[in-house]
């Protein structure tokens, strides 16, 4: 089947090979999605239809009360015996994997994640390594990772992305979703807003690095975001239909990642900033705000940076001189300070990708200069930072760093070093390539503080 050129029903993208004009064949192995009132009651039917008999329910103390207990009840009533593990170690790191392994029943043939981001990622990773499929039962819709095939978990104090697997079935009960804390609802919308900047990053890399780009998948994400944002204002009223659309939009952007095979269609420097904040807070034993909330704030920052870059007269000769004078030793010292215990992992990423080395940077500066008119036009297509801030404010969601516990010093480190979280080309890397990242960052921080 050919890849649809415009957004279609979610079911049109599931469990079927799609031939695409980008030169690749796309496939999302997700088999079914049920987002409706009482969708949790569909769980036993999907378990039986797909031939499973011994589900392993994975939740924490909170999600057990919200949906885990009911999952166990409906499965038991249907004659399916499920073992439930209520996680006691919620660091979502190596120790969590150990807890899941120790308690997994020998006859387990299916894992079921009951929760949202971290529980899904942990179950996705664990089930993949154990060779079992998994289902997701959502308790809120704060992020777009439900249908993703990758998992971000903490390893050696660094948020690390692993190849994992897409769930087989996703259930989103709107009666549960509408009762989620309002901050979780707003977080889902924040994550969707980040698609504007992440798609811009992808387009920048296509121009500068000739990175592979799929217009159909990018168009799918753009259409999806625009469709959801039409009714975003009704989310504050906990309208089940609107919350169902938000959940479906988040699933669809996750399907886009699965179709493409990595997170490029839905994750750019706004996500790298969020990952940096999560790492920083967790290293200090602090609980960060929801991922989608961080992405909303980071999106505002990236938009402000893009606006400043558009108004900057770039000196390409000075950029080349900066590239030639790059000191790996000075960079490494800065990374140790900015990343703490996670520094060695970041340094290893740079050793593998060599994205900061002078030769590659000089080649990119040449490409940026030759495409500068197209690049500035691309930046002009982004929504205004004031417009996005207004939308976040209307949803009673944070839109400034100080509102999520990020002070001036942490913000400066974020703007300068969050680009090192992933070896992926973004607006932050481009500003660094041009030798203007530090100046624009300081200007941005100064404006925020006045």
Mapping DSSP onto H, E and C, the string for the chain reads CECCCCCCCHHHHCCCCEECCCCCEECCCCCEEEEECCHHHHHHHHHHHCCCCCEEEEECHHHHHHHHHHHHHHHHHCCCCCEEEECCCCCCEHHHHHHHHHHCCCCCCEEEEEECHHHHHHHHHHHHHHCCCEEEEECCCCCCCCCCCEEEEEECCEEEEEECCCCCEEEEEHHHHCCCCHHHHHHHHHHHHHHHHHHHHHHHHHHHHCCCCCHHHHHHHHHHHHHHHCCHHHHHHCCHHHHHHHHHHHHHHHHHHHHHCCCHHHCCHHHHHHHHHHHHHHHCCCCCCCHHHHHHHHHHHHHHHHHHHHCCCCCHHHHHHHHHCCCHHHHHHHHHHHHHHHHHHHHHHHHHHCCCCHHHHHHHHHHHHHCHHHHHHHHHCCCCHHHHHHHHHHCCCCCCHHHHCCCHHHHHHHHHHHHHCCCCCCHHHHHHHCCCHHHHHHHHHHHHCC
With a pLDDT cut of 90, the percent of the chain lying above it is 74
Give the mean pLDDT of 386-390. Answer: 93
Q: What is the pLDDT of residue 6?
A: 65
Closest-CA residue to 367 (of 158, 232, 204, 188): 204
Considering its fold, how many domains does the chain have in total? 2
| Pair 194, 173 in one domain | no
Q: Are residues 199 and 276 both part of a single domain?
A: yes
Residue (of 185, 170, 326, 186) closest to 254 by Cα position:
170
Q: What is the pLDDT of residue 301?
A: 98
Question: Which tens digit of pLDDT belongs to each residue from 224-239?
Answer: 888 888 887 778 788 8
Q: Is residue 255 part of a domain?
A: no
Mean pLDDT, residues 1-19 taken together = 79
**Does residue 343 carry a pLDDT above 80?**
yes
Residues 329 and 398 occupy one common structural domain? yes
Taking only the tens place, the pLDDT of each residue in 264-276 is 999 999 999 999 9
Instruction: Note whether 37 and 134 are same-domain residues.
Output: yes
Last residue of a domain, one of 162, 180, 198: 180
Q: Is residue 421 part of a domain?
A: yes
Mean pLDDT on 153-158: 79
For residue 14, tell me if it sits in a domain: no
Q: Compare 282 and 440 and report the one with higher pLDDT.
A: 440
Same domain, 137 and 76: yes
- Whether residue 406 sits in one domain with residue 317: yes
Q: Mark whether 79 and 195 lie in a shared domain.
A: no
Q: Mark which of 136, 160, 180 sits at the end of a domain.
A: 180
pLDDT for 450 beyond 80: no
Question: For 136-161, what is the mean pLDDT?
Answer: 84
Residue 173 lies in a domain: yes
Are residue 411 and residue 435 in the same domain, yes or no? yes
pLDDT classification of 163: cutoffs 50, 70, 90: confident
Residue 294, domain member (yes or no): yes
**Same domain flag for 155 and 294:** no
Q: Residue 331 and residue 235: Cα distance in Å, rounded?
A: 44
Q: Report which of residues 387 and 12 the model is more confident about.
A: 387
Pick the more confident residue, 320 or 227: 320
One domain, residues 207 and 115: no
The pLDDT of residue 74 is above 90: yes
331 and 273 in a common domain: yes
Residue 87: band (very low, low, confident or very high) from pLDDT cuts 50, 70, 90: very high
- pLDDT higher at 287 or 323: 323
Res 99: pLDDT: 94
**Residue 7: pLDDT band by 50, 70, 90 thresholds?**
low
Tens of pLDDT along 105-125? Answer: 999 999 999 998 889 999 999
In the structure, what pLDDT confidence band is assigned to residue 5 with cuts at 50, 70 and 90?
Answer: low
Report pLDDT for 408.
96
* pLDDT of 151 higher than 90: no
Query: Among residues 157, 180, 203, which one ends one of the domains?
Result: 180
Q: What is the pTM of this model?
A: 0.85
Q: The domain containing residue 348 runs over which residues?
A: 190-213+261-448
In a domain, 112, yes or no: yes
| Mean pLDDT value across the chain | 93
The percent of residues in the chain predicted with pLDDT above 70, rounded, is 98
pLDDT of residue 201: 98
CATH number at residue 118: 3.40.50.1970
* Residue 237, in any domain of the structure: no
203 shares its domain with 131: no
21-29 average pLDDT score: 92
């Amino acid at each position: 089947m050919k890849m649809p050129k415009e957004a279609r029903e979610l079911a049109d993208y599931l469990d079927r090979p799609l031939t695409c004009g980008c030169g690749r064949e796309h496939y999302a192995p997700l088999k079914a999605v049920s987002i409706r009132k009482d969708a949790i009651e569909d769980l036993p039917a999907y378990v039986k239809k797909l031939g499973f008999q011994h589900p392993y329910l994975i939740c924490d103390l909170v999600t057990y009360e919200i949906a885990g207990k009911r999952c166990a009840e409906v499965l038991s009533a249907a004659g399916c015996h499920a073992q439930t593990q209520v996680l006691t170690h919620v660091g979502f790191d190596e120790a969590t994997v150990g807890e899941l392994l120790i308690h997994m029943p020998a006859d387990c043939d299916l894992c079921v994640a009951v929760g949202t981001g971290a529980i899904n990622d942990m179950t996705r990773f664990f089930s993949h390594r154990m060779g079992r499929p998994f289902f997701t039962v959502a308790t809120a819709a704060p992020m777009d990772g439900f249908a993703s095939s990758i998992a971000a978990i903490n390893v050696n104090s660094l948020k690390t992305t692993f190849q994992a697997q897409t769930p087989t079935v996703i259930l989103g009960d709107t009666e549960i979703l509408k009762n989620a804390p309002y901050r979780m609802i707003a977080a889902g919308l924040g994550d969707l807003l980040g698609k504007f900047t992440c798609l811009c990053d992808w387009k920048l890399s296509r121009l500068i690095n000739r990175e592979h780009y799929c217009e159909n998948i990018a168009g799918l994400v753009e259409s999806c975001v625009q469709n959801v944002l039409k009714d975003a204002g009704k989310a504050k009223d906990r309208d089940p239909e609107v919350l169902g659309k938000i959940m479906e939009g988040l699933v669809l952007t996750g399907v886009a990642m699965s179709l493409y095979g990595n997170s490029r269609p839905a994750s750019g420097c706004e996500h790298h900033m969020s990952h940096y904040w999560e790492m920083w807070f967790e290293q200090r034993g602090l609980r960060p705000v929801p991922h989608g909330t961080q992405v909303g704030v980071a999106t505002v920052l990236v938009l402000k940076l893009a606006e400043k870059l558009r108004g900057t007269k770039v000196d390409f000769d000075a950029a080349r001189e900066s590239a030639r004078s790059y000191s790996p030793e000075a960079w490494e010292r800065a990374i140790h300070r900015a990343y703490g215990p996670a520094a060695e992992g970041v340094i290893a990423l740079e050793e593998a990708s060599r994205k900061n080395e002078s030769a590659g940077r000089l080649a990119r500066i040449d490409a940026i200069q030759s495409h500068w008119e197209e690049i500035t036009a691309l930046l002009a297509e982004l929504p205004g930072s004031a417009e996005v801030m207004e939308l976040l404010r209307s949803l009673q969601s944070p839109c400034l760093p100080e509102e999520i516990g990020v002070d001036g010093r942490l913000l400066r480190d974020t703007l300068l070093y969050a680009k090192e979280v992933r070896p992926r080309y973004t607006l932050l890397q481009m500003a660094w390539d041009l030798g203007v990242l530090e100046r624009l960052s300081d200007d941005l921080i100064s404006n925020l503080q006045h």
